[in-house]
Copies of this chain bind each other. A is one copy, B any other.
Amino acid sequence: MNFDFDDDQRSIKSTAREFLASRSKFEKVRECSEGGHYDEAIWKEMIDLGWAGIFIPEQYGGQELGVVELVILQEELGYAVTPSPFFSNAAAGLMVLHAGSDEQKERLLPGVASGEATGTVGILHDGSAPLVPDAEAASFIVLAGEGDTTRIVEAGDAKIEHRDTIDGTRSFARVSGEGEEMPGDAGAGLDRACAALAAELTGCSQRAMEMAVEYAKDRKQFERPIGAYQGVSHRCAEMLLETEGARAATYYAGWAADHEPESLPAAASMAKAYASDAGWRVTASSLQVHGGIGFTWEHDLHFLLKRAKTDGHLLGGASWHRDRVAKIAGLGDAVIAQV
């Protein structure tokens, strides 16, 4: 029983932290966000580091590591709010790996692992997927949804309408289209993608908390650092509680994906539900600590806040996942869909 990363995992984490600290600074995030595009160079470097294929078996060109390693990267990418198609491509890879046929895996996973033919994932609502990340640049889109069969839609066969969102660090579109069915376990892929998203949310929370703490130490009002007032210091303590909670649930989901898949559905939904709430609350709370300056475009905080809020709505919101936890906890299926 050991909650610590092993040496390899620690090294993945520190490499990611250093790489993103130098290549994905807030100035870069701002530039991408305002320009409406990703920085191709960073994405290229991420591919060169082997990140795109981190969990993909070697036979398809990946590193054949686990979801824990994916979660480690994703947390750092959230911490840096890095603009890149990493998450959507990884989610698509997870779907193909767990729901795809052998032929589909052979056809699609090498492109995912090499970043040369990226994929993405959308959740269907009434026939289309309202908010699919990075669909415009993807080679294929996996569309999943309750009651629907999960299918792979080739970019050429998809109707893709760009949609602006509050999260300028990521590109979104509404997607519909027909495609070939996936025979495997779509849930196994989606749960892992939820763990990755929860990790991104944890990273956003961590960064927003650190920014709040730094600001609270520096900013003086009434001749005291504002962090000396419990109105601020207790708020920061609550940020820590929620961020650590999100992290614990997320690591557990990552570990369950790799080592105890029977626990994954509950673990993934717990992580997604808790991290969605925490991500929003911690970033919004950090804004409150910053006061007016945190509400300005010039300040960097809003990138985290908007990313966190948007992530919270992807792949099922907190209420949906909480309801699923209740089901797994023994209450059976819901009778009304959760908002």
Residues of A at the B interface (CB closer than 8 Å) are 229-231, 234, 336
Contact = CB atoms under 8 A, between A and B. Distances in A.
For this chain, the copies found in one complex come to 2
A336 B230 CA distance: 42
Contacts of A234: 230-231
6 contacts: A229-B230, A230-B230, A230-B231, A230-B234, A231-B234, A336-B336
A230 B233 CA distance: 10
Contacts of A336: 336
A288 to B, nearest CB: 13
A110 to B, nearest CB: 50
A15 to B, nearest CB: 41
A234 B234 CA distance: 12
A333 to B, nearest CB: 15
Contacts of A230: 229-231, 234
A76 to B, nearest CB: 34
Contacts of A231: 230, 234
A234 B231 CA distance: 8
A96 to B, nearest CB: 40
Contacts of A229: 230
A229 B229 CA distance: 8
Question: Nearest 4 A-B pairs (CB), nearest first?
Answer: A230-B231, A230-B230, A229-B230, A231-B234
Nearest to A335: B336
A24 to B, nearest CB: 37
A233 to B, nearest CB: 9
A132 to B, nearest CB: 32
A70 to B, nearest CB: 40
A227 to B, nearest CB: 12
A216 to B, nearest CB: 13
A193 to B, nearest CB: 32
A82 to B, nearest CB: 36
A295 to B, nearest CB: 22
A276 B336 CA distance: 27
A231 B231 CA distance: 7
A203 to B, nearest CB: 29
